[in-house]
Amino acid sequence: MLPRKQFHLSDVMRCRKTLVWLLVIAFSAACADYAMCRLLARQFRQDQEIAVTLELGAFRARLEERINTNLYLVHGMAANIAVRPDMSAREFDDLARALLSTRNSLRNIGAAPDFIIRFMYPPEGNEKALGLDYRTVPDQWDKALAAKESGQMAVAGPLNLVQGGVGLVARVPVFRDGDGDFWGLVSAVIDLDTLLELAGEGALAARLDLAMRGRDGKGLRGEVFSGTAALFDEGAQAVTMNVSLPSGSWAMAAVPKGGWATGSPYAWAVHASVLLLAVVGCFARIQSSCNRLSLAESESRMRAMSQASHDALVMIDADDHITFWNPAAEAMFGYAEAEMLGRNMHDVIVKPTQVETAKHAMARFAKTGTGPVVGRVMEMEGVRKSGEIFPVERSVAAVQLRGQWFAVGSMRDISARKLAERRLSELATLDELTGLANRRHFMVLAEAQLRQAIRYRQDFCFLMFDLDHFKTINDTFGHDIGDEVLRRVGHVMRQVMRGTDIFGRVGGEEFAVAMPETDLAAARSVAERLREKFMEVTVDAWGKTVGFTVSIGLARLQSPETVLSQLMKRADLALYEAKRGGRNRVVSDEDGDRQDA
């Protein structure tokens, strides 16, 4: 009986030991399974946050670009009125029609000289606005007066429009070019639905739940005007970004459609692996494999989203190392992704003179996630691989992942926009026919040179000339030939006049030149050279050769009390004497004094 009893006890002991091992393995597997699932859930949540951040950042860049495009058009109208405050209704309509013909969100544009709306385009649907005096509308008058006193553009809204729909109202104060006197306001209505549609809100709404707040540019303090206010609650854990406006900002909050996913889609693989293999080594290998798969898929998602963006999207860590570089960045800067990953961004695409400043800012960013460029739309100069320097519009957002700050930047090449701005400036300051300075711009430049000559007691001469018998040329050969003659005048002046001279067209066939640091003898020499050069110029008029001459009047600065209008009047009188003396000659207003002497 004893051996049988011992055998039974041995079996029991083995069973207990096996049971202990089974319990240890089960407990270890359960612990490993729990730890792995938590890790995957956290990684998957970070992947979601990165994806939402990139999508929201790209949408914000497009939205700010659309807003700025519309506001540039309003600024363009204000700039034209500033240099032409006597603009007619027809001229206003022509310019407004040209501005609204571009792809934008403007519903209308109007102008209110002395706070009374005199111009409105299009007139259809806006008839009641014409003649409106802002001073009679209390809620409008406060905002209009604030725009005048600040001297800056003010953007109000979004607000419900009387015409239907929701829009933004942009107001720009206009000050006359030259004397700086207040002229009035230029205002425009930007349709919010069209603005969001052009920025791609429809496509974004298919993937994200989005809310926006900050009516009248009040940011997080403003009312919610799009989406659900609950997204701004702390419990929503939404990704937030600011949209910069000229007079404030909006705040955006977004989460994936339907909310954040709480578990990783790969959790079932962990369960199956732990149950099948039941060893820590295999589990560690599966963990590594799942992590690599998760990271690869996360990178694929981000790359796919960045493919649709025309803006360069770049992500850097707190040490300035590039961790993401999309195809648009390759096209913009000329560097392939393989060349840039891991490199210091500011050492490559930023001008050398700005690198040190940028690195100081990165040191602060690494600690706080803040800096002078974070959350703002700014212009900078980028450097291509070829060494070419070009203008860039940049917006930067900060995101914290695994306790470390990362910066996500969206960059756009604005070379074409800068060229258009320069063209608009030229249209406001140059005479369209001759390419010379127009009267207003010439007078501003000449006045500045005259004040400098008086201050430093320098010589200064003023020259005026017009074309002899120009009316006969127009009457005989037509205005097309007359215009060609005027164009030749502009060409000759650019050839003959010196680099320090200021010259422009001040009338129909009248031209003027301000000559700083020039005495009367030198001015007469220049005038004679100009007169002789004009005698060599001819224009072909249907087989006939048309020549022309000019009569020139000179005046010299004689007294520090002299103003530009007096000097111009004396030169004009000398020009009249040249005409009376037979034309095609140079006469100074002092010639008569010498003859008398």
- Higher-scoring residue by pLDDT: 321, 301: 321
- Higher-scoring residue by pLDDT: 287, 589: 589
3-state SS, residue 306: helix
Task: Say what the pLDDT of residue 488 is.
Answer: 96
**Cut 0.85: pTM above it:** no
Task: Say what the pLDDT of residue 23 is.
Answer: 85
Q: Which of 332-346, 354-368, 518-532 has the weakest average pLDDT? A: 354-368
Task: Say what the pLDDT of residue 552 is.
Answer: 98
Rounded Cα distance, 419 and 412, in Å:
15
- Higher-scoring residue by pLDDT: 326, 12: 326
Q: Which of 92-106, 198-212, 280-294 has the weakest average pLDDT? A: 280-294
Task: Say what the pLDDT of residue 454 is.
Answer: 95
Task: Say what the pLDDT of residue 256 is.
Answer: 92
Are 570 and 589 in contact by the 8 Å Cβ rule? The answer is yes
Residue pLDDT, tens place only, 129-160: 788 888 888 877 888 888 888 888 888 878 88
pLDDT band, very low/low/confident/very high, at 6 (cuts 50, 70, 90): very low
Q: Region 538-550: what's the mean pLDDT?
A: 93
Burial of 406 (0-12, 13-18, 19+ CB in 10 A): buried
Task: Say what the pLDDT of residue 54 is.
Answer: 92
Are 133 and 185 in contact by the 8 Å Cβ rule? The answer is no
- 71-75 long-range Cβ contacts below 8 angstroms, 24+ apart: 71/153, 71/155, 71/170, 71/246, 72/417, 72/421, 73/99, 73/100, 73/102, 73/104, 73/106, 73/109, 73/188, 74/106, 74/109, 74/153, 74/170, 74/172, 74/186, 74/187, 74/188, 75/153, 75/172
Q: Region 226-237: what's the mean pLDDT?
A: 86
Question: Which residue spans within 114-268 are E strands per DSSP?
Answer: 119-121, 154-160, 166-175, 182-191, 208-213, 224-226, 239-245, 248-256
- The fraction of the chain above a pLDDT of 90, given in percent, is 33
- Higher-scoring residue by pLDDT: 460, 164: 460
Residue pLDDT, tens place only, 29-53: 788 878 887 787 788 788 888 988 9
Rounded Cα distance, 95 and 121, in Å:
10
pLDDT band, very low/low/confident/very high, at 586 (cuts 50, 70, 90): very high
Q: How many residues does the chain have?
A: 597
Task: Say what the pLDDT of residue 286 is.
Answer: 56
User: Taking 60 as the threshold, does the pLDDT of residue 595 lie above it?
Assistant: no
pLDDT band, very low/low/confident/very high, at 279 (cuts 50, 70, 90): low
User: Taking 80 as the threshold, does the pLDDT of residue 561 lie above it?
Assistant: yes
User: Taking 90 as the threshold, does the pLDDT of residue 381 lie above it?
Assistant: no
- Higher-scoring residue by pLDDT: 434, 228: 434
Residue pLDDT, tens place only, 85-112: 888 888 898 888 888 887 788 888 999 9
Buried b (16+ CB within 10 A) or exposed e, 64-78: bbbbbbbbbbbbbbb
User: Taking 90 as the threshold, does the pLDDT of residue 477 lie above it?
Assistant: yes
pLDDT band, very low/low/confident/very high, at 427 (cuts 50, 70, 90): low
Rounded Cα distance, 147 and 145, in Å:
5
Mean pLDDT rounded to a whole number for the chain:
85
Burial of 428 (0-12, 13-18, 19+ CB in 10 A): middle
Task: Say what the pLDDT of residue 557 is.
Answer: 96
- Higher-scoring residue by pLDDT: 429, 440: 440
CA 247 to chain centre: 15
